Structure formats: C-alpha cells, structure tokens
A and B are shown apart, each in its own frame.
Chain A
C-alpha cells in the first residue's frame, strides 16, 4: 500500500498486519457481538487505532496480541462505557464431561451464545486466537490463574448447556 505515492516501512508492515490478522480479528469480533457488520466495524476501528498508535507497539512479535487487546477494548467501549464486569470464580469443579465425540454445530453455537462474556472471551481467544493463558491474561488485563479458571469454567458450562439441550431434545422425541 502506498501513502501519497510512498510506501513506507510502517505502511508496508501495517498492510501485512491487516492482511494477516484481520480475518482472525473478525471472527473474534463476530463471536463477541454476533453481528457481521458490527464485527467488521470493530476490526476496522481496531486497525485504525493501531495505525494511529503504531509508536506504542514496542514488540513487533506481539503485534497480534496487541491487536486483540485493542479489539477487545473497542468492543468493551462499544457496549459499556466502563470496564467489563467480570464474574469472579472462586472455585472450580474439576469434573470433566468428555462425551462429545460428534459435536452438534447448532447446539455448540447456541451454547456459545449462552456463555457469559467473561467466559466466552478467554475461550474464544484460546480456541480461535491460539493464545496461551498467559497471553490472554495480558489481553484481558487479569491474572493467568483467573484466565485458567474462566476457560475451565467456560468449557464446563458449554458442555452443560449442550448436555441440557441434548436431553431436552431427547425428551421431545
């Protein structure tokens, strides 16, 4: 991309960044707001902010993490003027319900929608973004332990929601 006929290093890097990460950012944004046009707006706003604040990017290797941090903040700004109100999880049940060999897509979709944002967000960052709990902690500005708890809880809740749906459907039959 050229800027006024000049292709600067910053512009080239920015273009690479947009082309490399915008699709991932869009998916994350979509699953946060569940609206395609709003998700695209969020990604665009994120990229514009990134361009304006390029000087704040200290580590180019952490660009993706930085972008997701901005995106999350943009989403929070869109919906809430104040900081997202996360639910503190004090304990965690370790029982895992691992019986979803054939994943029903519709139920999973519904299950995701039912997850509270504070759980859905780190789970999306992990599954979709491929971030580690430590990286997610930086993005959502909390501790790694809190992220681990939220992700575990999210998985468990997701399975429970889907389990209930499955039982409900069986009852209908």
Chain B
C-alpha cells in the first residue's frame, strides 16, 4: 500500500483500517502522523456530538411502549368482543340447541286447538304469512287457520291446511336456517322441513298420506320469489 492508498483508507474509516494500511503506518512516519491526527479529529468530533440524552427518556419510551401495547390489546379485545356479539346475533336462530323441526313439532303439539278450529281466512292473510318465507299462492289454499306465532328462533307463521287425509300444519320460519331438508317422526306426528326463500317451512301431519298430499299441494300452488321451493 502506498501513501495515497493509505490516505484514502484513512479518510474513509480511520477506526477500521485494513491490515495492509496499519502495516503501512508502521513503516511510514508521515502516514502514522496523519493517522494520529485523523483519530484525534474523530475523537474531537465525537466529543462535540456527545449531546446528553434527556433525563428519563428511556423510561418515557418504555412507558409509551407499554401504553401502546395495552391500547393495542384493548383494541384487539374490543374487536374480538364485537366479533363474538355479531356472531351470536347472526347465529341466534340456531343457538337454541334444538333442531328447528323439533321446535315446529313442539309448537304444533302445544297448540292442538288450532288443528280443530275453523276460521274464515282470506287469501290476503295467507299470502301475507307466505310472503315471510318468500312465497305466494295464486289460488286460495284450503286453509282452516292462519296466524302468526312466537317461536324460539323468532316470529313465524302458523297455517293449518285441509287435506283429504286430515289436517296438516304448515309452520313458516323466516328466521330459521335455510338449505336443509329434514324428516322426523315423533309423538305420533310426521314432520318434514324444507328450505324456503327466506328461512324454512315445515309440514306436520298425523299420517304420511296427509303429509304427502299437503306437500303436493304446496309444490303445485306456491310460487317462490326465486327458484327455491319444494
């Protein structure tokens, strides 16, 4: 290494001189003196740069970090809570732990008088109830009772249909889960649940024949908002 190269290395970084530069300084008095001066220059520069850090700065930084972390965790907790609440709200209809077809059957069994009574029901009343699940009927169905009812998963419609094989209850559950078809035989009744445009609807009958007739009746008479139906 010559003096020019040494000076170049010295200017670039006097604190991390390569071995060849240090060897050169040992042999060259002038460059050795330059190195000392450069290191002195840096030492003086470092002295000037040594401004004191503000008192308590470290503690303030740690406190700010802790505060930020706490706030972040709080935000996460709030977000998680909101998510849980929203999830619960959306799944309320399904959180009763009881299958919806069972709800419909229980409701029918709890109100047997509706099967017996005969009311004057208008097509508008029937269609108002059917509209809850996205259906309507152009012709008047053979209905002996029609009304709204309270179900564990929300308001529903309760219609009693007359068939040649006996009366069949049509339960409309607009708040129920959709896309399922179920069948159940229990407590002397046969029940089937179908997906509707909104929620679902169930047929509850005392015999297979009555259920079949009611199912056919709805299949032929009901019109759905979209293609969903029986």
Contact = CB atoms under 8 A, between A and B. Distances in A.
Contact of B7 (A96, A127, A149): A96
A18 B11 contact: no
B12 A100 contact: no
Contacts of B23: none
Given A100-B41, A109-B48, A112-B48, A47 B61 contact: yes
Contact of B13 (A4, A124, A132): A132
| Interface of chain A, main secondary structure | helix
Nearest to A100: B41
A151 B11 contact: yes
B30 to A, nearest CB: 10
Contacts of A36: 51, 54
Contact of A98 (B38, B44, B64, B70): B38
Contacts of B12: 133, 147-149, 151-152
A101 interface: yes
A18 B33 CA distance: 39
B183 interface: no
Contacts of A101: 37, 40
A103 B48 CA distance: 9
| Size category, A interface | 35 or more
A96 B11 contact: yes
Given A22-B53, A98-B38, A128 B66 contact: no
A84 interface: no
Interface in B118-136: none
Interface string A130-164: 10110000000000000111011001101100000
A44 B7 CA distance: 39
Interface in B43-78: 44-51, 53-54, 57-58, 60-62, 64-66, 68-70, 73
Contacts of A1: 62, 66
B226 interface: no
B98 interface: no
Given A3-B69, A128-B49, A22 B10 contact: no
Contacts of B73: 4
Given A18-B61, A22-B57, 7 more contacts: A1-B66, A26-B54, A43-B61, A95-B7, A98-B41, A103-B47, A109-B48
27 contacts: A18-B62, A19-B58, A22-B53, A22-B57, A27-B50, A27-B53, A30-B51, A40-B54, A47-B65, A48-B68, A51-B69, A94-B11, A96-B34, A98-B37, A100-B37, A100-B44, A101-B37, A103-B40, A103-B45, A103-B48, A105-B44, A108-B48, A109-B48, A124-B49, A130-B15, A133-B12, A152-B8
Interface of A: 1, 3-4, 14-15, 18-19, 22-23, 26-27, 30-31, 36, 40, 43-44, 47-48, 51, 92, 94-96, 98-101, 103, 105, 108-109, 112, 124, 126-128, 130, 132-133, 147-149, 151-152, 155-156, 158-159
